Chain A
Amino acid sequence: MERPLTQHITFPPLGLRQYEAIGGYQAARKAIKHMQPAEVTALVKDSGMKGRGGAGFSTGMKWSFVPMNVPGPKYLICNADEMEPGTFKDRWLLEGNPHQLIEGMIVAAYAIQATESFVFLRWAYKTAAQEIRKAIQEAYDAGYLGRNILGTGYSLEMHLHTGVGRYMCGEETALLNSLEGKRATPRSKPPFPQVSGLFGKPTIVNNVETLSYIPHIVNKGADWFQKLSLTADGGTKIYGVSGRVKNPGAWELPMGITLRELLEEHAGGMQDGYSFKGVLPGGASTDFLVEEHMDVKLDFAGVAAAGSRLGTGTMIVLDDKTCPVGFVHNLEHFFAQESCGFCTPCREGLPWTEKLLWAIEQGNGRMKDIEILASQTKLLGPGNTFCALAPGAMEPLQSALKYFREDFERHIIEEGCPYNHHHHLHSTSHEHLHR
């Protein structure tokens, strides 16, 4: 089985010479020296590559929206602000093979004729920051970055920007505002960043995994990429699993393997004494899948059909000994805190759901609270809020209410948590409730 993305991951990662020795920067050479920018975009479009950041939009299509004949700079940005709870796939790529990412960025930047590029990196990824910084310098020294790359006349600058730890910056338009030095609030679309992005100029924002794939597509072609997959969504995908499984981790696997294969074969099944209750398939902001979904194919369409989202493809498993109310409360605490405060429903609605969940978890819930929570999941749905943060936050809650409603009711009837372990799980979350 081919694992193009991760086969050369080492810790510490390959230096530039080692990376070149395994065929590194050949894609950059090929693209810049022998392909027209439009050809690169067409190739990526043909491959069917869908963005690995979570939304699953066609990468080639995104690039093709960039107007090529406008004056002024264009920008290519790598979204490395990996802050989705439970997600750690980009970190693996960032720390394990930074040159692969940089090469992907060079090709992508060339395709849209960007002259400036940025890696917007999560603040907490200190090791990744070191490795990326080092790799960028090596790429400059070797002439893959800077003025007149490989003597072709094409120039590209690359900068590492470390964020300050706001989940909101994972949203591409909030990321752009943050990069401009403004508050990390999202922007309304249209206009899309492809047309008016960083500093109002055409800009592409792609995920680490997406960009890391680009050199391989350029080297091996669209068909090769398609054939890696078991389904219509091409390529391999990094899947991750956390929770009480025997073997938590991340694996590069063909797109479209089933949830069962992933959890049982790769994650090794549940730890002894625990049984499977549900899973968030693509990070904290996706709907629970449960036992009945074990044979769902893990690609964008397959997970969507089951009522959730593939998202980042990194799963959080809920076991039978963990309180689902406490679990969801923990997530809503995170989302309420990470709300940027721009739009009313998210700013005010999320803290309310958080407080309701805490009240229920503490044994202070009322039956009406379940109704309020259910109505909040609808009212904070897509289109009602300014960006996708609150709708994402509602996904685990609405599916928990659907699949684990009994647990909610028991909390209220029994005036306490039947799992009875919240006091240590949530010892850190008291403070914010009473601020």
Chain B
Amino acid sequence: MNIYIDNKKYEIKEGKNLLEACLQLGLNLPYFCWHPALGSVGACRQCAIKLYKDEDDTKGRLVMGCMEPVRDNVRISLEDPDAKGFREQVIGWLMTNHPHDCAVCDEGGACHLQDMTVMTGHTYRDYRFSKRTYNNQDLGPFLNHEMNRCIQCYRCVRYYKDYAGGKDLDVFAAHNHVYFGRCGNGKLESEFSGNLAEVCPTGVFTDKTLQSHYTRKWDLTYAPSICQGCSLGCNTSAGERYGTLRQIANRYNGDVNGYFLCDRGRYGYEFVNSHQRIYEPAVRPHSNGAVKKEQVVEVVAEKLKKGRVIGIGSPRASLESNFALKQLVGAEHFYIGMSDADHDHTALALKILKEGPARTPSLHEMEHADAVLILGEDLTNTAPLMALAVRQAVRQQPMHETEQTLHLAPWQDAPMREAIQDKKGPLFILHTFPTKLDELATAIHRGAPDNLARIAFALAAKLGADVAPVDDLHDEEKTLVAQMADALLAAKNPLIISGYGSGWDHFMKAAANISWALQQQGRAPMLSFTLPECNSLGLEMLGGHRLDSAIDLMEKGGADTVVVLENDLYRRADEHVIDALFANAKEVILIDHLYNQTAEKATVLLPAGTFAEADGTIVNNEGRAQRFFQVFVPKGSVQESWRWLLQIAEKAQVPRLSSLQNLDDIVWAMCVAVPFFEKVQQIAPHADFRINGQKIPRESHRYSGRTATLANENVSEPKPADDIDTPLSFTMEGFRGEPPAPLIPYFWSPGWNSVQAVNKYQTEIGGHLHGGDPGLRLLEPHLNGRPHYFREAPDRYIPMPGHVHIMPVYSIFGSEELSMHTKGIAQSAQDFFCIYMNPEDMHQWSISPGIWVSFDVDHHSYQMVAVPNHWLPRGIAALNAGLPKSKIIDLPQCVKLSGAEALHATR
């Protein structure tokens, strides 16, 4: 379509509004209440423009750009004096109450309100009366609340309630006393609350963790990073100053996380600054272990030269580091450092996605699914952003209907929500426990995992999958199967979700069967699996032996030296098992960044860089390889794990790794050695990439105090560190234009100092970044392949007397290892460990609530406090997975109850 803006002709796609069109064309039109993910409501009146009837209309009328659809040959003006004057006055009105506290405001310098104020030219204040004031609230450990700064754009509540499904933030009162907050003080309940800091156009909601070690955002050194908090691989910008990581912000990726992060991802970074960090190598049993970097490489090389070495990789380490270890010890001696259950799930997911005909979608694609089936997952706790995507997906079907009947566009947010009311597209959830998404579901079904999986198998059969029939379903279950089959068949892009969350692989098999059957019925199903950790899939693609075979090998005396990569093995198997493994090893060489239980056993400790101090590649649950970049030069002897391994390999003269020096080298070697990773070479420009002969600076051109930082000691300016691995520089000098998408350290554009600058980097508003979103998919389905269905459904679950099946329960706050080093996350996690049991089971076995019960697992006895949970079916128990005091690691497990002891818990 053609549109005329100030008499200049532009071409623009249909379906947008005029504000989006202007922004997409690179024009500066200010706004507040509109947000690309939230649509338009017309509240702030900031994007006023002149709209003309036709060529001859010279007067025109003021309209709000965000409320007017693009029409062919529409004529508008941004420069018209009435429009400009009105836009300036909108700021004037806002400033009647907004405090002039920019100098002490956390948002200052990266504030959308500041930018818009400058953009409209509002300079002097005509208002001479007092400003209204509010009381603020304590919203918990993640967000500050400073209501005096509020400009009432309503984005916070629209995001929190409408988009993210939150219940405890709202708008109160009226006229110029409108108040945005909770009913009273208290932590915001939503797992996505941190996004308020970015959704808020000014300093009402700001990042409390940043404030605890505050620095101006222009003084941060940023690098493009990837969240390490779960398997989804959300893109982040990580910011550092003076050697501490200060902030994680969202880094827009149109395919992956879009505009939002979860609170684990945003706030779980404090481990980087932890006092438990390892900064120097150590060799035991020397006194205190202190040793120089060069020496320790030699020491390790000597130990490795003796042979009888195994390596244990890690799903939280980069592909490069895992690959380096595998090459160092040899493929036959490389073990996957996951629990066997995690390994089995990930391997199954990889097999299904690699060999089957169903496509695994990006998060963005999931938002557009028109029917969703979730099998055995509590997404909010296992893959949080996926839960947010499902929230958007259930709106698709009613939204499409409304587009037809009322001729509304999706961006017309208020009328769309009004017309839709509480209508939702099909969503079915089969899970033992209630989940936060249940409120959106068409139908939910609870029960023992096996019985739920049977329903899923029956559904696959109903959809035509070649599987053994499940013929003893109850009537209610049969009705549900029919209902789900109808809904999935009626959808164009049904989405089937399963994963590691309940520990039952039958769910994943059923999900595959259902997707494949839908594929054969001519639908375009999407199949998505949640996976345990940020690089679980990458590690599985690299391949290695199971952890239990390493344990067996060590027990038989099959090796002397164990090299452990970025892994606390006590989180991978039960304590006595790992104790035995280490007891059987003569040398334990650990490369990691935090001092943990495994580090206590290490004879050699090598300090590894965290994601913020290293470059590397990880593969998310979609099979998307993504690069994270080093943010800052670490303290002490810290360096990338892969770099330690390359240095050791050189000393030990390992030919498989000879003459590899930097990131590009090891990526190249990996791509040659592992066909799966061929594309990884292309996910980001190489180290020699330059624009106009310049590197991409990590620091903003406003970075201040470089020469003053240490001026009390020395006025000479130190030479900035070199970065031999990437085209990014550790300085403020370099190319100031728009870098290629994978190299964008932070979003900034002239006049746009807040995160809203991202508009300038997109091919269309809310679409892809220029040149394509970062990351490359390594998995594509065999669309014409014949599916090899998983034929056998599990048997109906029959509880065994005296036994319980223990399933894991994951929590967004608590289950993940590294994020628990952030105080606010640890505070949000459950602070005691117990076993949840069916109340009738407890009654039958005379177990009173709060009493210690004993279990036997592989002839090893455990005691735990029993807590009744009425969601659990007979014979099923549950444990919080990953909590610091977890004892039984490998879940699910069938355990024998050795009887209740009449000892009351003394907690």
Interface stretch, picked from B125-133, B431-439, B633-641, B693-701, is B125-133
Assuming the A-B contacts A191-B408, A344-B90, A347-B178, are A384 and B420 also in contact, with contact meaning beta carbons closer than 8 angstroms in the complex? Answer: no
Of residues 88 to 114 in A, which have CB atoms within 8 Å of B's CB atoms? none
- Which residues of the partner chain B approach A342 to less than 8 Å between Cβ atoms? 43, 154
Is A339 located at the chain interface by the 8 A CB criterion?
A: yes
Complex CA–CA separation, A129 to B676 (angstroms) = 75
Is the CB of B74 closer than 8 A to any CB of chain A?
A: no
Of A188, A359, A383, A434, the contact of B61 (CB 8 Å cutoff): A383
Cα distance, A380 to B136, chains bound together (Å): 31
Query: How long is the Cα–Cα vector from A434 to B131 in the complex, in angstroms?
Result: 10
Q: Are B45 and A343 within 8 A (Cβ)?
A: yes
Residues on B with beta carbons closer than 8 Å to the beta carbon of A351? 96, 175-176
Size category of the binding interface on chain B: 35 or more
Q: Are B174 and A166 in contact (CB under 8 A)?
A: yes
A 338-397 contacts with B by CB, 8 A: 338-345, 347-352, 355, 359, 368, 372, 375, 379, 383-386
Candidates A191, A337, A383; contact of B406 at CB < 8 Å: A191
Asked whether, in the complex, the Cβ of A196 is within 8 Å of the Cβ of B406, the reply is yes
Q: Give the shortest distance, in Å, between A246 (CB) and chain B (any CB).
A: 37
Closest to A177 in B: B418
- Is B93 in contact with A349, judged by CB distance below 8 angstroms? yes
Contact B45 A385 (CB under 8 A): yes
Bitwise, A327-344 to B at CB < 8 A (1) or not (0) is 000000000111111111
The answer on a CB contact under 8 Å between B176 and A341 is yes
Determine if A200 and B129 form an interchain contact, defined as CB atoms under 8 angstroms apart.
no
Partner of B420, one of A187, A200, A347, A434: A200
In the complex, are the beta carbons of A345 and B90 less than 8 A apart? yes
Q: Which of B67, B85, B177 has the most CB of A within 10 A?
A: B177
A residues 140-195 with Cβ under 8 Å of B? 166, 168, 183, 187-188, 190-191, 195
Central interface residue in B41, B42, B63, B176, by most chain A CB within 10 Å: B176
- CB-CB under 8 A from B127, the residues of chain A are 352
**CB-CB contacts of B128-165 with A at 8 A, as 1s and 0s?**
01101000000000000000000110100000000000
Contact of B176 among A70, A339, A375 (CB under 8 A): A339
Q: Which residues of A contact B178 (CB under 8 A)?
A: 341, 347
Partner of A348, one of B46, B61, B94, B126: B94
Q: Is the CB of A191 within 8 A of B419?
A: yes
Among B62, B151, B419, the residue within 8 A (CB) of A383 is: B62
Contact (Cβ within 8 A) A344 B415: no
Complex Cα distance, B408 from A126, in Å, reads 41
Q: Is A199 an interface residue (CB 8 A)?
A: yes
Nearest residue, chain B, Cβ from A379: B89
Instruction: Knowing A183-B171, A379-B86, A383-B62, say if A347 contacts B415 (CB, 8 Å).
Output: no
Q: Are A344 and B94 in contact (CB under 8 A)?
A: yes
How far, in angstroms, from A352 to B85 measured CA to CA in the complex? Answer: 18
* Residue in A closest to B97 when the chains form the complex, CB atoms: A348
**A344 contact set on B, CB distance < 8 A:** 43-46, 90, 93-94, 151-152
Contacts of B176 in A (CB 8 A): 336, 339, 341, 347-348, 351
Q: How far is the CB of B555 from chain A (nearest CB, A)?
A: 66
User: For the complex, what is the distance from the CA of A196 to the CA of B418, rounded to whole Å?
Assistant: 8
Complex CA distance for A261 and B537, rounded to whole angstroms: 87
Task: Write out the residue numbers on chain B whose beta carbons fall within 8 Å of the beta carbon of A188.
Answer: 41-42, 67, 412, 414-415
B758 contacts A by Cβ under 8 Å: no
Nearest residue (CB) in A for B418 is: A200
Q: Are A341 and B86 in contact (CB under 8 A)?
A: no
User: Which A residues lie within 8 Å of B173 (CB)?
Assistant: 341
Residue in B42, B62, B154, B175 whose CB lies within 8 Å of A336 = B175
The answer to whether A424 has its CB under 8 Å from any CB of chain B is no
Interface assignment of A220: CB less than 8 Å from any CB of chain B: no
* Alpha-carbon distance between A349 and B175 when the two chains are bound, in angstroms: 11
- Decide if A435 is an interface residue (CB 8 Å cutoff): yes
CB-CB nearest 6 A-B residue pairs:
A348-B93, A341-B178, A200-B419, A339-B175, A355-B129, A341-B174
Can you name 16 A-B pairs with beta carbons within 8 Å?
A: A168-B174, A187-B415, A188-B67, A195-B406, A196-B418, A336-B175, A342-B43, A344-B43, A344-B151, A345-B89, A348-B96, A351-B176, A355-B129, A383-B62, A384-B62, A386-B43
User: Given A200-B420, A347-B176, A379-B85, list of 12 further CB < 8 A pairs?
Assistant: A183-B171, A190-B415, A191-B415, A199-B421, A200-B421, A342-B154, A344-B151, A351-B96, A372-B126, A375-B89, A379-B86, A383-B62
Chain A interface residues (CB < 8 Å from chain B): 70, 166, 168, 183, 187-188, 190-191, 195-196, 199-200, 336-345, 347-352, 355, 359, 368, 372, 375, 379, 383-386, 434-435
